[in-house]
């Protein structure tokens, strides 16, 4: 109960500061013949969001890779509500949704910054569940320092 | 009740022939630093599957586009079970999962053909829900001939 | 000779301020099984670079689209010298290389910001030639205000 | 001069049978807001073409990877002549363009099969130069069996 691992697993609910926002500009390559962002591209936007979530907490995902560990996606869900268009500036919000010994769930929502919009107007929500594995694809407990990082507030960033 | 639309809407359950299988070879561009198919690429594989589903029933999606209609994805879900690797030959199975007046749900599973594998070993399952809209993004009933096509068996193909 | 068009066409050489630099962080999705950025992704980085080039000069490409014009790529060339890896922070430099009545060439080089590197170490160079066309894909002269924008220095940006 | 390596290096010109054609159907994800194939996607089509070139000669690229070797792209060039649209069926022709001790150049052209078109109407041409490297990114001579495979005719394929 006194280890970082124990503290993290029992912390409930997830602290309010456990979110990170990034901006994503929609390029031509992201659109399709409907003139909107192709639905597959949000999966990449989500990845950008959680990579930045970790980076701003001093534990970039690269550190996991350098230790021979990976966090493959084991579940993905998206509800698309409104389309985004070329040149829109989007806000991708990444939150910790849940944590187990081996897995972490990131919850997402996407809203539009430009053209000016009501920030409560969500374009879509989604979630991604990742599992920690070693180099042979066997489940591994999330490292303690990684769990601590997940629960930390953002450090200042440029 | 005697229209194609009525027949389709009330047909229950979905006929067993309502599936299409395509092969998908994993390219280098599809992999990531883990050496496996990046999870975002299955979304594209799914799209290939449902485009072929329609094409083999004589109603290619292009026909919808030419009529000024689109079928944006409104929901996406994937459960990843096992990774696929570079050069694997995959089988993408696309089935009709459900149909309403405006929406159609396609259910997917992905298995490995090469290297030789037990065909019951699923790599992943997923679903995509599409809604029929007009050029102004307003919901529209699925055209009758499209619904008939969805319920038809595959025509022979090369 | 007194029109903006004439001035632009005859301006020689291209002013030194005709460049824009953006940062590009390498995501997992950008890598391949070699653990490096897949060569196709630089084409997308280049696009991000030239979209920002125009945006910082007050004439976003969206303005062209809204006028019913497009600038399809008619030529692309890249010389890859060193690989980039996951999580690298890259600098994409976009310069005007040449201008004709209908076409504009953007020249690119990519260097690494993080991990810290000698900024003169280029990872790659490339160029993209774009042609101005109307909605029916017929060649059109680049609009005067667009040409002026291409030759302008960057406005301040956040 | 009597080794396979020597024979290959001196064979001139490249035999006429050194080409492979694959079909590529254009999906929605491949298009952009112009309604045409985004120029970056041809780079992926090219890769599909050369992977199939090797596979049909009994030396899949995976064999190189399994030996700890890679063939990163060191040069890429494309001339785009006509656009391709959603649902078009394209023919990607891959030819050996040149061979040195360490590098191989593949030359490409892309034509349209559907909608029915004059097969001589090229949509674009391009080339890719690859260099053989080991796991530490050091140049290595192309393996003899690989060179032999490059010069062989296609085996029958399904």
Residues of D marked active site are found at 32
> So what's the pLDDT on residue A11?
54
Sheet (strand B122-131) strand order: A19-25, A89-99, A103-114, A122-131, A73-80, B73-80, B122-131, B103-114, B89-99, B19-25
CB-closest option in A29, A34, A35 to D38: A29
Least confident stretch, B6-10, C106-110, D114-118, D138-142: B6-10
Return the structure tokens found at A102. Answer: 């081996």
Q: Show Cβ contacts of residue C58 under 8 Å, excluding neighbours closer than 6 positions.
A: C149, C152, C155
With b for 16 or more beta-carbon neighbours within 10 A and e for fewer, the B46-67 pattern comes to: bbbbbbbbbbbbebbbbbbbee
Is the CATH number of domain C4-151 3.10.129.10?
yes
Least confident stretch, A134-138, C21-25, D23-27: A134-138
CB-closest option in D32, D35, D86 to A29: D32
Which ranges in D4-143 belong to alpha helices (H)?
A: 4-10, 41-55, 61-66
**Rounded mean pLDDT, D29-52:** 97
10 Å CB burial of residue B45 (0-12, 13-18, 19+) is buried
- In 3-state terms, what secondary structure has residue C91? strand
User: A26: distance to nearest CA of chain D, Å?
Assistant: 12
**Rounded mean pLDDT, C54-82:** 96
pLDDT digits (tens, 9 = 90+) for A89-129: 999 999 999 999 999 999 999 999 999 877 678 999 999 99
The mean of the pLDDT values for chain A is 91
pLDDT band at D147 (very low <50, low <70, confident <90, very high): very high
pLDDT digits (tens, 9 = 90+) for A10-23: 456 899 999 999 99
User: D17: distance to nearest CA of chain A, Å?
Assistant: 36
**C150: closest CA among C28, C46, C9?**
C9
Which ranges in A12-151 belong to alpha helices (H)?
A: 41-55, 61-66, 144-151
Tell me if C131 sits within 8 A of C72, measured CB to CB. yes
DSSP single-letter state for residue C2: -
The total number of residues written for chain D in this structure = 158
**How many angstroms separate the CA atoms of C126 and B76, rounded?**
37
Which residues on chain B are in Cβ contact (under 8 Å) with C28?
A: 32-34, 38
Residue A53: pLDDT over 50: yes
Q: Tokens 């890679």 label which residue?
A: D70
Q: Is B40 on the interface with C (CB under 8 A)?
A: yes
Least confident stretch, D30-39, D92-101, D110-119: D110-119
pLDDT band at D2 (very low <50, low <70, confident <90, very high): very low
Q: Is the pTM of this model over 0.90?
A: yes
Cβ distance of C31 and B29 shorter than 8 Å? no
Q: Is there a cis peptide before residue D71, judged by omega within 30 degrees of 0?
A: no
> So what's the pLDDT on residue C116?
85
Q: Tokens 């949509």 label which residue?
A: D123
Residue C46: pLDDT over 90: yes
Which residues on chain B are in Cβ contact (under 8 Å) with D27?
A: 44, 47-48, 51
pLDDT band at C97 (very low <50, low <70, confident <90, very high): very high
Interface mutation vs chain B, best among C26, C33, C40, C85, most B CBs within 10 Å: C33
The mean of the pLDDT values for chain C is 91
Neighbouring CB atoms inside 10 A of B22's CB total 18
Q: Tokens 């990531």 label which residue?
A: B32
Tell me if D91 sits within 8 A of D124, measured CB to CB. no
- A32 catalytic? Reply is yes
Cβ distance of B44 and D29 shorter than 8 Å? yes
10 Å CB burial of residue A3 (0-12, 13-18, 19+) is exposed
**How many angstroms separate the CA atoms of B104 and A108, rounded?**
25
**How many angstroms separate the CA atoms of A111 and B78, rounded?**
23
**Rounded mean pLDDT, C47-51:** 98
**Rounded mean pLDDT, D43-72:** 96
Q: Half-sphere exposure (CA, 13 Å, Cβ side) for B59?
A: 18
Cβ distance of B76 and A72 shorter than 8 Å? no
Q: What are phi and psi of A27, to 5 degrees?
A: -90, 170
> So what's the pLDDT on residue C1?
36
Sheet (strand C122-131) strand order: C19-25, C89-99, C103-114, C122-131, C73-80, D73-80, D122-131, D103-114, D89-99, D19-25
Least confident stretch, B97-101, C6-10, D76-80: C6-10
CB-closest option in B34, B72, B75 to A83: B72
Q: What are phi and psi of B117, to 5 degrees?
A: -145, 160
DSSP string for residues in B39-89 = TTHHHHHHHHHHHHHHHTTT--HHHHHHTT-B--EEEEEEEE-S--BTTPE
pLDDT band at C145 (very low <50, low <70, confident <90, very high): very high
Residue A7: pLDDT over 50: no
């Amino acid at each position: 109960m006194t280890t970082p691992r124990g503290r993290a697993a029992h912390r409930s609910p997830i602290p309010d500061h456990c979110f990170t926002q990034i901006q994503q500009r929609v390029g031509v390559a992201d659109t399709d013949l409907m003139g909107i962002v192709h639905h597959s591209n949000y999966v990449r936007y989500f990845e950008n969001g959680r990579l930045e979530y970790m980076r701003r907490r001093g534990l970039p995902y690269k550190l996991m890779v350098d230790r021979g560990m990976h966090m493959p996606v084991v579940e993905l869900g998206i509800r698309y509500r409104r389309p985004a268009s070329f040149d829109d500036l989007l806000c991708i919000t990444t939150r910790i949704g849940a944590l187990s010994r081996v897995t972490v769930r990131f919850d997402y929502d996407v809203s539009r910054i430009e053209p000016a919009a009501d920030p409560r107007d969500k374009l879509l929500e989604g979630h991604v569940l990742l599992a920690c594995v070693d180099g042979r694809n066997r489940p591994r407990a999330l490292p303690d320092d990684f769990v601590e990082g997940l629960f930390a507030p953002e450090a200042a960033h440029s």
